[in-house]
Amino acid sequence: MSTVERQAKIRMILVNTSHPGNIGGAARAMKNMGLTELYLVQPKEYPAPRAVWRAAGARDLLANARIVESVDEAIKGCGLVVGTSARERRIPWPLINPRECGMKIWQESEHHDIGLLFGREDRGLTNSELHKCHYHVHIPSNPEYSSLNLATAVQVLAYEIRMASLSDAEGVLPAMNDWDQPLATADELESFHEHLAETMEELKFYDPNNPKQLITRMRRLFNRTRMDKMEVSMLRGLLSATRRTRPK
């Protein structure tokens, strides 16, 4: 697969952005680094002239940006989803640094679409958005002032993807391990998690009035294993069989 085809599999997804200038800045940062797929989840003010000014020579990227209603819609079909985070969260998630993130994204771009999520300027990504991710990435900034400008964060991560692609062109980036089945996509995982939650509730294993983070921990467990499509359908078969055969 060509470099351009792989670049086109990497979606930079800006969630609920307030300032259109940041959207333009992100488009420019992406184009400078050879990325093309900009997704905007419910931008607060868009289209906007300020986005166009800040995009400078990257207006084509803005014009082609996909505006969608939800994070689920933005990550549909993605085999890898990574969420950015400016700070520590309550429940730790598999965490990678920008360099590892660039390498992983580039390696996997040969096999499936990838979503990299960026949060709101004032409060980042919500927990439920972060819990849809396989990994979180943190730019190791000054702990006393850890939050970068949104477009700057896009720049740093796009640069690392670029560096990984250049290492690959030189033949020094290891390829992703061969696997016999394609990995499950974000939407398949989401349906699996819903099926699991319904089954746990029906079996009275899970009490929605006393959740104790069970659902979050199950999400973390299964997202960490990077299940393939066949593994997901096996587990869904098991859940269906459990529900069918449960004594009434």
Site residues (vs ligand SAH, CB under 6 A): 84-87, 118-119, 121, 123-125, 138-139, 141, 146-148, 150, 153
Give SS3 for 117. Answer: strand
CB of 112 to ligand SAH, least distance (A): 22
Q: Which amino acid is at 65?
A: A
Compute the distance between CA of residue 150 and CA of residue 131 in angstroms, rounded to an integer: 20
CB of 157 to ligand SAH, least distance (A): 8
- Cis omega (within 30 of 0) for bond into 94: no
CB of 172 to ligand SAH, least distance (A): 26
Closer CB to ligand SAH, residue 79 or residue 124?
A: 124
- Please give the span between the terminal C-alpha atoms of the chain, in angstroms, as a whole number: 53
Closer CB to ligand SAH, residue 101 or residue 227?
A: 101
CB of 232 to ligand SAH, least distance (A): 28
CB of 150 to ligand SAH, least distance (A): 4
Q: How many CA atoms lie within 13 A of 137 on its CB side?
A: 27
CB of 149 to ligand SAH, least distance (A): 7
DSSP codes joined into one string, 195-239 = HHHHHHHHTTSS-TTS-TTHHHHHHHHHHHTT-BHHHHHHHHHHH
To 5 degrees, how large is the angle CA 28–CA 113–CA 155?
25
CB of 50 to ligand SAH, least distance (A): 17
Closer CB to ligand SAH, residue 116 or residue 232?
A: 116
Closer CB to ligand SAH, residue 100 or residue 121?
A: 121
Closer CB to ligand SAH, residue 148 or residue 197?
A: 148
Closer CB to ligand SAH, residue 89 or residue 236?
A: 89
Radius of gyration of the chain (CA): 19
Closer CB to ligand SAH, residue 55 or residue 139?
A: 139
68 CB burial (10 A radius; 0-12, 13-18, 19+): middle
Q: Could you count the other beta carbons within 10 Å of the beta carbon of residue 79?
A: 24
Q: What tokens appear for 77 in the block?
A: 């079909």
